[in-house]
Structure 1
Amino acid sequence: MVQKRESGATAILRSLAAAEQERTRRQAQPELGDRVQALKAYQQARLRLSHADLLASPRYAAAARFFLDELYGPGDFSRRDAQFARIVPALVRLFPREIVGTVATLGELHALTESLDSAMAEALPSAALDAPAYVRAWQVTGRRADRERQIDLLLDVARSLDRYTRTPMLSVSLRMMRAPARAAGLSDLQVFLERGFDTFKTLRGADEFLGCIEAHERALLAQLFTADPSSLAGSGQLP
């Protein structure tokens, strides 16, 4: 048990350091930082277009918003990451092992996303994006395996949150963590976990929802690395 928890702490700290390294590099290169911000905004628009059916669904709208904003969106997680880095020992000590594992996966997801965003931005000719430039940048990076890993990680986090809703003891433990988490400076993490738990609980089973997310994203993955960017010029479509 101790070994698993120590390895969870090591994984979280490694991911936090990797994400912060990317942010620091972009702060030192304002032009790169501007391109990353433009890329994040473009990808947010793309995500909302790709998953418009889920966002419009009475059953899935709340889960889709959580998924796109908290797991897969363009949000600035630097404050939460800095908080985590200071209190990882407390996190590992206080939270159940399953939740520590989910946080480690979430950290890996964010670190990989920051790395991909930097690589994509470096491949862009400017901060002005359109469909051809977006596809071309993905192809220049050549990081299809990392894109596949990104999809796997976000689905892993979502499935973990869904699984928690069917584990009574874990859900009770999560509620009991409110005061200790706040005292340890882990309030942001607590809010994220509770929001995810409450969102997925309302679905009463997230398999169909996550299947739709996965189908959308894997179809896009194939398009990104096989499409002719010039064929998308003037299409007005966000691939």
Structure 2
Amino acid sequence: MSAHADSILAHLRTVDAERRRRSGQPDMTARVQALKTYQQKRFSHSYADLLKTARYGPAARFFLDELYGPHDFSERDAQFARVVPALVRLFPHEIVATVNTLAELHALSEVLDSIAAGHLPDAHVDAARYVSAWQATGRADDREKQIALTLGVGESLDRLTRNPLLRHTLRMMRGPAKAAGLGALQSFLEIGFDTFKAMRGAGDFLATIATRERALARALFESSLQGDGRLGDTALGQLP
């Protein structure tokens, strides 16, 4: 099996382990779900301006639904793990590398969500609790890595759009991918490819994501919480 296949499977095992660990803890699944839902709401709030534009709206919506959503991907991931060898065999190297980055992001996000949710008292999440939970993780470096991987997925999709042959290859892969159980991944890649191609260059879009996410990360870890639970002086205007 290739190095990429081993890496993808390792990341998927991390995701599965996190889900299993949560299932053994009362209310943990509900707290993680509440955290994910709040994070999706936060992304909508942070990028309301991009979501309204014709050029960047579809890409922002793609990030919102595919990378920040609270969806349950457990069944999809289980199916995906079974067909990783077929993925590596059927898809071009550039696409497999993108999927590997996506899998690494998926695994890291699940780990960080579990840790942060473990510091929530219950399944209610607001700005103050979100800040407190993130600070309690003490994982600022991992949050930066999470941002870098998110940008990496976007940069890979943007780079793929500059290769017309890859888009043609993706179209030709629809039948084999569906037969191999890779229909959901095929759909993700095609939507991502077409969404980023329609932007006619994702540089400004990704630069905006990078600036805002890193500014928020600094604010999350630097903000002070007053005794009454209100946010301190650090500006956290990106939080709903």
Indicate whether the TM-score tops 0.5: yes
Distance 1:65 1:208 in 2: 16
Question: RMSD of aligned C-alpha atoms?
Answer: 1.6
Give percent identity, aligned residues only. 60
Paired residues of 1:15 and 1:111 also in contact (CA < 8 A): yes
Secondary structure of 1:228's aligned partner:
coil
1:195 to 191, 197, 218: 191
Match of 1:232 in 2: 231
Query: Which residue of 68, 71, 81 corresponds with 1:72?
Result: 68
Identify the residue that residue 106 of structure 1 maps to in structure 2.
102
Name the aligned partner's letter for residue 228 of structure 1.
Answer: S
Please list the CA deviations of residues 144-195 of structure 1 after superposition, one character each: whole Å capped at 9, or x if unmatched. Answer: 0110000000110111111111012211111111111011010000000000
- Choose from 22, 27, 33 the match for 2:29: 33
Q: Give the alignment of 1:16-27 within 5 angstroms.
A: 16-27=12-23
Q: Relative to structure 1, is the Cα distance of residues 165 and 236 closer, same or farther in structure 2, using a 3 angstrom cutoff?
A: closer
Q: Which one of the candidate residues 4, 8, 13 is aligned to 1:12?
A: 8
Contact 2:120 2:129 in 1 (8 A): yes
The aligned runs of 1:35-184 (5 Å cut-off) are 35-184=31-180
Q: How far apart are 1:74 and its partner, in Å?
A: 2.2
Instruction: List structure 1 segments (4+ residues) > 3 angstroms apart after TM superposition.
Output: none
What amino acid is aligned across from residue 198 of structure 1 in structure 2?
A: D
Q: Which has the higher helix share?
A: 1
Offset at 1:229? 2.3
TM-aligned CA deviation for residue 60 of structure 1: 0.9
Cα distance between partner residues in 2 of 1:159 and 1:109: 14
SS at structure 1 position matched to 2:166 = helix
The number of aligned residues is: 234
3-state SS of 1:166 partner: coil
Alpha-carbon offset, residue 79 of structure 1: 2.2
| 5+ residue gaps, structure 2 | none
Contact 1:155-1:210 within 8 A present in 2 as well: yes
Mean CA deviation greater in 186-195 or 69-78: 69-78
SS in 2 for 1:229: coil
Matched-pair contact (CA < 8 Å) for 2:36–2:68: no
The change in CA–CA distance for 1:236 and 1:228 in structure 2 (over 3 A counts) is closer
- Unaligned runs of at least 5 residues, structure 1: none
Which position in structure 1 is the counterpart of 2:181?
185
Residue pair 2:220, 2:236 contacting (<8 A) in 1 also: no
The 8 Å contact of residues 40 and 69 in structure 2, kept in 1 or not, is answered as yes
Q: Is the 8 A contact 1:40 1:74 kept in 2?
A: yes
Q: Which residue of 1 aligns with 2:212?
A: 216
* Deviation for aligned residue 1:136: 1.0
Contact 1:60 1:209 in 2 (8 A): yes
Q: Could you say what secondary structure the match of 1:218 adopts?
A: helix
Indicate how the Cα distance of structure 1 residues 236 and 116 shifts in structure 2: closer, same or farther if over 3 A, else same: closer
Normalised by the size of structure 2, how large is the TM-score? 0.93
